[in-house]
Chains A and B, each alone.
Chain A
Amino acid sequence: MMDKLILRLLIAAGFLSSLWFADFWFFSEARRDSFWFPILTVAIFWGIYRSLANWALIYFMTPSSTPSLPETVTYRVDVLTTAMPGEPFAMFEESLTKIQAMEWPHRTFLLDGGNDSQLMELCARLGVTHVDCRNIPGAKAGKVNYCLRTLSDAEIVFIIDPDHRPRPDMLSRVLPFFENSQIGFVQVVQAYYNTGNSFVANAAAEQTFSFYGPTLMSLHGLGIPTAIGANCIFRRKALDSIGGHAEHLAEDALTSMRLHAEGWRSAYLPYRGTEGLVPEDLGSFFKQQVKWATGMFEILFREYPKLFRKFNGVERIHYFNAGTFYFNGLATLLMLLLPIYFLFAQKYAVEFSLQDFILHLAPYAICTLLTYRFMSRFYTHPSEKRFPWRSLTLEKASWYVSCMSLLSGLLHRRVEYIPTPKNSDRRAMPMLVLPNLIAIGLSLLAVAYALFAYYRLDGGTWWMISLALLNVLVMVPVTVIALFPKYNWGSYDSKEHR
């Protein structure tokens, strides 16, 4: 009850402070450049729009727990996992053992894209059905659909990535949700066991903390948590109603969209049911981002309009917000370029004094931080409660990945579906951070130019200088770990856990 009150107050304060800033931004007395002001407005208000969407979403936050299950009920469950050539054998050994160790009776299928003899032997030993999927098109989803058509006939299908190790009570905790006949799928937390290995792993995992906490809890309140490809439990009937698992770069997001459009609801259980791998090096992380971002843009441009008529109002808004998430990269690009341009050209988009700007932005910034702080009490693990600077800098540093994905999405360029790499690369990767290096260099040059060439630095210039320096500060950590990988791996001496 108290939580609910604090939450409402924070949301109200968030909306009020955003209104106050917008009021100042658009209606206060200041000269505005008719060309640059709208552009700067887009760059700044993109972040505010994301915050507002987030505040609106967490209004519906409903932490759920496992409903109790009548003892007479049981379900037949098939567990589907996939293998691709080149993935480490040790990983399969471990995760298949864990999958087989789940208490609830189930059958397991390993959909092998390489028909590896070692894996066949392992499957025979563990009692897993090995399926030869060498000639099945459509990546992971293609294999899953093939299996659903030919071998699997259970009413519940648990699709799990081979790097994920489920807990023994995973199924028994989740299955009671299916007692509600509207529930099409149930999502649980995706935790990681390699977050301590590197900075990137730590930061990439950090990016998911609020997603597997407040975000999915709020979507649960609305009945539409998203499915995540790595560990989601579907009702067979639901998958059949949309013609099987979607085959797409962002197959999980598209599958949940189609299911929700079809009228199925979903549930989220804040339970750390499985533990998997998170990318440890920047290369793998960026590859994963390219896949997700391009997938989300393609969904936004091609699939969202098709499903729009079938969605209800909440779904329309939610999937628009989700589909536009990776525009963050474009906003970051604008925020990188604008200070550089303004400092060199000695131009102003709008002539606020720095003090007035800070005064009007401060409440919004404070509300954002307070909300973040408060939200962290809904995270699923105590270790997740910390200031998320790592994830922030990693997200900002991937701006150009999102921008390139936007291009691919717009031009409908083919991006190969590759499973997120399971091996880490420990070399320096200067090419990966070249855009960031250029951005850092230009920002510093622009600041130096302003300090030397301007005689008097007034409020507007200070404002731009602080923006440029902030950009540098945000870009530096990821750039450093890409150039000097030893800082990524830190003192942690990699245990070969695979």
Chain B
Amino acid sequence: MIQKNIADRPLKLPPGPSIRSFFLFLLIVVAAYFPLKKWGEPALAEIWFRQVICRMVTDAHTLENPEPGKMALGATRPELPQSLYGMDELQSTFGGRVSLISFYQAWGEGPLHAFPTEALYNMRKAGYTPMVTWEPWLSEFVRYGSKEPQKSLALIASGKLDAYIREWARGAARYGSPLLLRIAHEPTNPLYPWTSAYGNTPEMYGSAWKRIRSLFMEEGARNVSFVWTPFGLLDSAFFPGKDQVDWIGLDLFNYGSLSEQGTWIDFYSLAKLYVDQYRSLGVPMFAAEVGTSSAGGSKADWIRDMFRALRNRDLPELKALVLFDIPTGRTATGLPINWSLSEIRGVDSLIQREQFDTLFSLRPKAALRSYLP
């Protein structure tokens, strides 16, 4: 065999890309990321929202009521929506049967007035169906804050607030699960600027309502049920229409001696007045705010009577009951009033557990475990 020193005959191999060119490439890619994200992400998010998210929204215009023949029990608390601790206390009082959660949000700019995604996620995870009372105040809009507060319905109807409404509706669609939305409630209550007390007419009220609802439908928020709430017994003119409203949520308060007439009224009589008045509108009803003062009577007795009336099925029209557990209420004339349930010791003793169980539908299991022994 021929022997040869092979070490001194270099042979060139095809050169691969250099390390330096790779780092240059990497630098360009990383630098390109930021403009790409800025321009590309919104476009991608829009496609994603229209093609995927919108199709995943739960169609819901009814209250979720897993147990037939029973009512849903709900409550509102002052610390909502930030914290659920007060709801946890109520759950232990009511045997884990509180399934609706109600809170209030004013319109405006900034995170406090944006769709409350995180709060709703928490509520959903804990098994609640949320009801948001969405109040069209103007003070938190930079452009409209200085305008007269009563202009809100006109601004909505003219489309000036569309951007805000759409953004909120999109948040609701993203959330995707059933949600009760109470818009511009109590259209004749003088405490609120969107009411007839500030010169708003039923026509303005109706056209604002229709615009909001149509924007929600456009954004695919089919999971939202619209709740209309009258203030007194004579608000039928403000009813936006049967096709516009999914629920009538009644606000039922006994002001006791603080009322205009200064008379104590029991739950049954009060509810009966409202139910009879609004039954003809042909929309299902529930009690969206229920509370009693202790001025001029016993709070415990009033609540015990309420449970008895409901248990006897005296008011079959009411599909849900939302307790207004708020200590800092006000009368229409501005007097402070305490609606809190914690004034009574042992609310759970007002009604027997078994009767209670047959009256209210059970709350979600996963959440239950931490409340039941």
Contact = CB atoms under 8 A, between A and B. Distances in A.
A56 B22 contact: yes
Interface in A67-120: 67, 72-76, 105
Contact of A16 (B25, B36, B174): B36
Nearest to B19: A314
A456 B366 contact: yes
Contacts of B60: none
Nearest to A218: B16
B118 interface: yes
A221 B17 contact: yes
B364 A221 contact: no
B2 interface: yes
Contacts of A177: 11, 13
A424 interface: no
A220 interface: yes
B372 interface: no
Contacts of A239: none
* Best-surrounded residue of A12, A177, A223, A313 (most CB of chain B within 10 A): A12
A453 interface: yes
B13 A59 contact: no
A60 B17 contact: yes
A131 B45 CA distance: 70
Interface stretch (B120-128, B301-309, B320-328): B120-128
Interface residues of A, number: 49
Nearest to B365: A455
Interface in B37-65: 37, 41, 44-45, 48, 52-53, 56
A181 interface: yes
Given A15-B26, A73-B4, A60 B16 contact: yes
A416 interface: no
B4 A16 contact: no
Nearest to B362: A455
Interface stretch (B27-35, B250-258, B259-267, B311-319): B27-35
Contact of B13 (A11, A61, A180, A355): A180
Contacts of B36: 16
B157 to A, nearest CB: 33
A240 interface: no
Interface in B170-215: 174, 177
B14 interface: yes
Contact of B1 (A15, A64, A74, A222): A74
Contacts of B52: 355, 359
Contacts of B177: 456, 458
B328 to A, nearest CB: 30
A410 interface: no
B300 to A, nearest CB: 32
B345 interface: no
A62 interface: yes
B11 A15 contact: no
Contacts of A434: none
B273 interface: no
B354 interface: no
B32 A16 contact: yes
Contact of B7 (A74, A76, A181, A353): A181
A455 B366 contact: yes
Contacts of B16: 60-62, 218, 220-223
* Best-surrounded residue of A19, A56, A64 (most CB of chain B within 10 A): A19
Contacts of B127: 455-456
Contacts of B13: 64, 67, 177, 180, 223, 267
Contacts of B364: 455-456
A90 to B, nearest CB: 32
A412 interface: no
Contacts of A313: 19
A33 interface: no
A425 interface: no
| Secondary structure class of chain B's binding surface, majority of residues | helix
Interface in A456-486: 456, 458
B242 interface: no
Nearest to A16: B33
Nearest to B364: A455
Contacts of B6: 73, 75, 155, 178-179, 181
Interface in A378-413: none
Interface in A1-55: 8, 11-12, 15-16, 19-20, 23, 31
Given A74-B2, A180-B11, A220-B16, A456 B125 contact: yes
Nearest to B128: A456
A18 B342 CA distance: 53
B102 to A, nearest CB: 18
B124 A179 contact: no
B365 A76 contact: no
Contact of B366 (A15, A155, A454): A454
Interface string A158-181: 000000000000000000111111
B10 A74 contact: no
B311 to A, nearest CB: 25
A181 B14 CA distance: 15
Contacts of B243: none
B368 to A, nearest CB: 8
Contacts of B22: 56, 59-60
B12 interface: yes
B367 interface: yes
Contact of A64 (B14, B44, B121): B14
A74 B14 contact: no
A221 B15 CA distance: 7
Contacts of A62: 14-17
B143 interface: no
Contacts of B44: 359
B138 to A, nearest CB: 27
B11 A59 contact: no
Contacts of A178: 6
Contacts of B276: none
A346 interface: yes
Contacts of B118: 31
B36 to A, nearest CB: 6
A180 B12 contact: yes
B124 A456 contact: yes
A209 to B, nearest CB: 21
Interface string A315-351: 0000000000000000000000000000000100001
B4 A59 contact: no
Nearest to A179: B11
Contacts of B333: none
B365 A15 contact: no
A8 B32 CA distance: 14
B349 interface: no
What 10 A-B pairs are tightest by C-beta distance, nearest first? A221-B16, A455-B364, A179-B11, A62-B16, A180-B11, A181-B7, A454-B366, A455-B365, A15-B29, A455-B366
Given A59-B25, A177-B13, A454-B366, 19 more contacts: A8-B25, A12-B25, A12-B29, A15-B30, A19-B30, A20-B37, A31-B118, A74-B1, A74-B2, A177-B11, A180-B13, A181-B10, A222-B16, A314-B19, A346-B366, A453-B366, A456-B127, A456-B364, A456-B366
Interface of A: 8, 11-12, 15-16, 19-20, 23, 31, 56, 59-62, 64, 67, 72-76, 105, 155, 176-182, 218, 220-223, 237, 267, 313-314, 346, 351, 353, 355, 359, 453-456, 458
13 contacts: A12-B25, A16-B32, A56-B22, A73-B2, A76-B1, A180-B11, A181-B7, A181-B9, A181-B10, A223-B16, A267-B13, A456-B366, A458-B121
